[in-house]
């Protein structure tokens, strides 16, 4: 039976005018290439150019009994420790254990985290203060996970190289597989938002101070519908691979059908990887691929655990747009810089800063050292 609609065409038009335009869906890429590698590489290149963000499914990293599950168990055990035990691995330098404070310039979020350099020697060094009873077990769990996600990052970068028709399709993946690559692993643990208001007196005073100072998230650590878990930013590296438990919170800034940017909720999917283009990939492709802005809003009543692999080149790597990306119609957008130079600028800036703009060829401050 067909039920006639209660709304007349005229009323439907009025409702359509009042409602915001529909949000774009989060693109999904099936990494098992059901339509062949050529179609997959073109799809990866298209979503990275249009949204700079996608959900990768059938990615080949075993989830339930594999490295991801072992890492989640090891990091959850760490976050369950008493505060003074966790503090042995901090304060973040920026590496190590951090709680609420992000970076060196006054950013705060409702989270605690571990930030690790992804190379095995650095992991072994940190493991001693993270798991004092069995540091080598912790190291091997992290190293095994890093190997698996690095492989996935390389696969995606090679598909991108092919989809963009690069002369050397492996150019991007070679940058992140150099022995001295500067990749990071970050594990974020967001407490349930319903416990945030149950903070002790000192915490409440600290948060009030932060809310009053201009330095704390521009003086406003809340947004409509929740608290800021991790403030708005783009990831500075080449590519980020994020995996989280089944708790929502991640949002990405995407254009709607009218081209107006809006925050889009990313529905949790613990079996997928969420992939985002970083600033360096935007620079290498002369702005063709976009480094997506994203944030985490704490609204859930269960803790969110997320693990992000930031694939980066060595510090000395020179980042300039690939020749095939520079044409008469699309002149060079960013001046050439090293990853070390970019990192120095980024650590002097707030989380939300659009730091790649400092390297824009039209900018007067082309040394990239000027802050917001």
Ligand X SMILES: C=C1C[C@]23C[C@@]1(O)CC[C@H]2[C@@]12CC[C@H](O)[C@@](C)(C(=O)O1)[C@H]2[C@@H]3C(=O)O
**Which residue number, 44 or 228, has a Cβ lying nearer to ligand AKG?**
228
Instruction: Tell me how crowded residue 270 is: count the other CB atoms within 10 A of its CB.
Output: 14
Contact with ligand AKG (CB under 6 A) among 250, 292, 321, 346: 250
Residue 306 interacts with ligand AKG (CB under 6 A): yes or no: yes
Partner whose footprint covers residue 250, from ligand AKG, Fe ion, ligand X, none (CB < 5 to 8 Å by kind) = ligand AKG
CA distance 172 to 324: 14
Partner whose footprint covers residue 112, from Fe ion, ligand AKG, ligand X, none (CB < 5 to 8 Å by kind) = none
Q: Hey, what are 299's tokens?
A: 């609204």
Contact with ligand AKG (CB under 6 A) among 47, 116, 118, 244: 244
CA distance 368 to 358: 5
Applying CB under 6 A, the span of 51-59, 229-237, 288-296, 320-328 interacting with ligand X comes to: 229-237
Instruction: Tell me how crowded residue 181 is: count the other CB atoms within 10 A of its CB.
Output: 22
Q: How many residues bind ligand X (CB under 6 A)?
A: 17
**Which residue number, 47 or 244, has a Cβ lying nearer to ligand AKG?**
244
Partner whose footprint covers residue 103, from Fe ion, ligand AKG, ligand X, none (CB < 5 to 8 Å by kind) = ligand X
Residues paired with residue 265 on neighbouring β-strands, in sequence order: 251
Residue 351 interacts with ligand X (CB under 6 A): yes or no: yes
Closest contact distance (angstroms) between CB of 269 and ligand X is 20
Among 357, 291, 289, 360, CA closest to 331 = 360
CA distance 352 to 181: 25
Closest contact distance (angstroms) between CB of 136 and ligand AKG is 27
Contact with ligand X (CB under 6 A) among 158, 162, 182, 235: 235
DSSP result, 56-92: EES-S---TTSHHHHHHHHHHHHHTS-HHHHGGG-S-
3-state SS assignment for residue 266: coil
Which run of H or of E encompasses 206?
Answer: helix 201-212
Q: How many residues bind Fe ion (CB under 5 A)?
A: 1
Residue 107 interacts with Fe ion (CB under 5 A): yes or no: no
Applying CB under 6 A, the span of 47-55, 164-172, 191-199, 242-250 interacting with ligand AKG comes to: 242-250
Contact with ligand X (CB under 6 A) among 60, 66, 91, 94: 94
Residue 331 interacts with ligand X (CB under 6 A): yes or no: no
**Which residue number, 236 or 313, has a Cβ lying nearer to ligand X?**
236
CA distance 342 to 368: 8
Looking at residue 219, what DSSP letter applies? G
**Which residue number, 112 or 235, has a Cβ lying nearer to ligand AKG?**
235
Looking at residue 24, what DSSP letter applies? P
Instruction: Tell me how crowded residue 253 is: count the other CB atoms within 10 A of its CB.
Output: 17
**Which residue number, 78 or 310, has a Cβ lying nearer to Fe ion?**
310
Contact with ligand X (CB under 6 A) among 236, 287, 313, 368: 236
Residue 309 interacts with ligand X (CB under 6 A): yes or no: no
Contacts 24+ apart (CB under 8 A), 324-333: 324/164, 324/165, 324/166, 324/167, 325/164, 325/284, 325/285, 325/286, 325/288, 326/286, 330/286, 330/287, 330/288, 331/361, 332/286, 332/361, 333/283, 333/286, 333/287, 333/360, 333/361
**Which residue number, 296 or 317, has a Cβ lying nearer to ligand AKG?**
296
Closest contact distance (angstroms) between CB of 267 and ligand AKG is 13
CA distance 43 to 37: 10
Contact with ligand AKG (CB under 6 A) among 186, 227, 350, 355: 186
Contact with Fe ion (CB under 5 A) among 158, 162, 235, 279: 235
Contact with ligand X (CB under 6 A) among 23, 76, 87, 105: 105
Q: Which residues bind ligand X (CB under 6 A)?
A: 94, 102-103, 105, 107, 115, 184, 186, 233, 235-236, 310, 346-347, 349-351
Summarize as ranges the residues that interact with Fe ion (CB under 5 A).
Answer: 235
């Amino acid at each position: 039976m067909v039920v006639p609609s209660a709304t007349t065409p005229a009323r439907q038009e009025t409702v359509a005018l009042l409602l915001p335009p529909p949000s774009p869906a989060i693109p999904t890429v099936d990494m098992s290439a059901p339509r062949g590698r050529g179609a997959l590489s073109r799809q990866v290149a298209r979503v990275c150019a249009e949204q700079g963000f996608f959900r990768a499914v059938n990615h080949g990293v075993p989830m339930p009994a594999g490295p991801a599950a072992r890492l989640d168990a090891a990091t959850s055990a760490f976050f369950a420790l008493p505060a003074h035990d966790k503090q042995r691995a901090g304060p973040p330098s920026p590496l190590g254990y951090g709680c609420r404070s992000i970076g060196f310039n006054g950013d705060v979020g409702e989270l605690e985290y571990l930030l690790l350099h992804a190379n095995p020697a650095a992991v072994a060094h940190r493991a001693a203060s993270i798991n004092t009873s069995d540091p080598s077990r912790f190291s091997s769990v992290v190293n095994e996970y890093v190997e698996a996600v690095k492989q996935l990052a390389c696969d995606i970068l090679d598909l991108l190289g092919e989809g963009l028709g690069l002369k050397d399709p492996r150019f991007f993946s070679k940058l992140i597989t150099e022995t001295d690559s500067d990749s990071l692993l970050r594990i974020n643990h967001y407490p349930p938002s319903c416990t945030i208001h149950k903070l002790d007196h000192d915490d409440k005073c600290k948060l009030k101070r932060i809310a009053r100072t201009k330095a704390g998230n521009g003086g406003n650590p809340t947004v409509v519908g929740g608290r800021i878990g991790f403030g708005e930013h783009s990831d500075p590296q080449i590519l980020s691979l994020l995996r989280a438990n089944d708790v929502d919170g991640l949002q990405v800034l995407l254009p709607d059908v009218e081209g107006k940017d809006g925050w889009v909720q990313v529905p949790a999917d613990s079996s997928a990887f969420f992939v985002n283009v970083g600033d360096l990939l935007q620079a290498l492709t002369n702005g063709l691929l976009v480094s997506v802005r994203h944030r985490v809003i704490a609204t859930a009543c269960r803790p969110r655990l997320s693990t992000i692999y930031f694939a980066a080149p060595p510090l000395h790597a020179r980042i300039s747009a690939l020749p095939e990306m520079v044409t008469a119609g699309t002149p060079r957008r960013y001046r050439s810089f090293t990853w070390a130079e970019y990192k120095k600028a980024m650590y002097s800036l707030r989380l939300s800063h659009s730091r790649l703009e400092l390297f824009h060829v039209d900018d007067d401050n082309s040394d990239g050292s000027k802050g917001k």
